[in-house]
Structure 1
Amino acid sequence: MTFADTARQWIHSLLLALLLGGGAVVLVGIVCAAPRLLATAIYVLRPTPSRPSPESHRAVVRRRVIQRDHDRIKDEYGRLRIDPFRGDELAVLDDLTVPEAVALVQALAAADDAETTDPPTYEKAVLHLAKAWRRAQARAAQTEPQPLLDRRLELRACTTESGVPSARRQPRPPIPKEQKCR
C-alpha cells in the first residue's frame, strides 16, 4: 500500500465520519425544530377570522348599554334596600298594595328573565323596568316622612279588634338563668 492509498483511505474515512456525524446533527435539529415548524405551518395556514359587520358591532354596543341600565337600576334599588335613612321610601316600595311597587317588582323579574332572550325582548323589558322605577321613585317621593316616634307608638298601639294587644307585639318571657352543674 502506498502513501497515496493510505491518504485516500484516511480522507474517505474522514468524509464518511463527517457525513454520518453531520447527518446525526441535522436529524437531531429537525426533530427538535419539528414542533416549531409545525406550529408555524398551522398558524400560516389557518383561516383568518373576518371582520365583524358594523351592524353586529352596533348590536353589541346597544346590548351593553341596555345591560348597564339594567344593572344601574338593580344597584340603585339594592342601595335603597340597605340604606337605613331611606326607610320611608323603602316602606312605600315594599308595600305590595301600592300599584307602583307591584309594577316595579314585576318589571324587575321580567327584566331578569328576559336577560338571556333575544335583544329586542330584553330591551323592551329594561325600558319597562326603567319606567316602573321612575314611577316608583316618584310615588316614594310623594309620601310624607313619618317621625320615628310616631312609628314606635303605632307599633305599641297595635291591638286586635277586641282591644287585646296582639300576641306578636307582647314582650317575650325572660330567659331562665343558667344552673351550674355539680
Structure 2
Amino acid sequence: MTMVDAAQQWIRWLQLVLLCGVGVVAFIVFTYKAPYFVATLTDILRPRLSRPAVDARAVRWQVIQRDHDRIKDEYGRLCIDPFRCAELAILDDLRVPEAAALIHALAEANDAAEKTDYPTYEKAVLHLAKAWRHAQALTESDEPCTVVYRAFAPAAPSTSPGAELAWRRPHPPIPRERRTCR
C-alpha cells in the first residue's frame, strides 16, 4: 500500500465519519423539531371557519344591559350594607332631589327593559347612569351629615293635611328576566 492509497483511504474514512455524524445530528434535530414542524404545517393547511358578522346593535344592547345591571347591583349592595346607613338614609329620602331622580330613573329603566324597546331603554339607562353619578356625588361629599340634616329638615307640606300621601317606591322592583335583542 502506497502513501497515496493510505491518504485516499483515510479521506474516505473521514468522509464516512463526518457523514454519519451529520446524519446523527440531523436525526436528533428532526426528532425534536418534527412535532413543531407538523403542528405548524397543519395549522397553515387547516381550513379556517369564517366568523359570523358581529351585530353592532346586539353588542350595544348587551353593553346597555350590563350597565343597567351594574347600577342595580351597586344600589342593592348599598341597601344591604349596614355600615353605609348614612348614605342609604340620604338615598331613601325622596325629599332629596338626587334620590328622587335616582328612584325615578331606576323605575323608568326597569319599565323600558321589560318592553325591549331599544332606543327608549338606551335613553333610560343613560339617564339612570347620570342619576346614579349624581347620587354618588351627593353621598360622597365631604360632609354627609349636613346633607342628611338638610334632607330631614322639616319642610312645608306639599299636600293638604287630610290628604293621603302618594305611594313611594323606595327601592327598584325585582328584576324580571330580560328578552334578548332581535
TM-score normalized by structure 1? 0.48
**Structure number with larger C-alpha Rg:** 1
Which gives a bigger RCO, structure 1 or 2 (Cα 8 Å, sep 6+)? 2
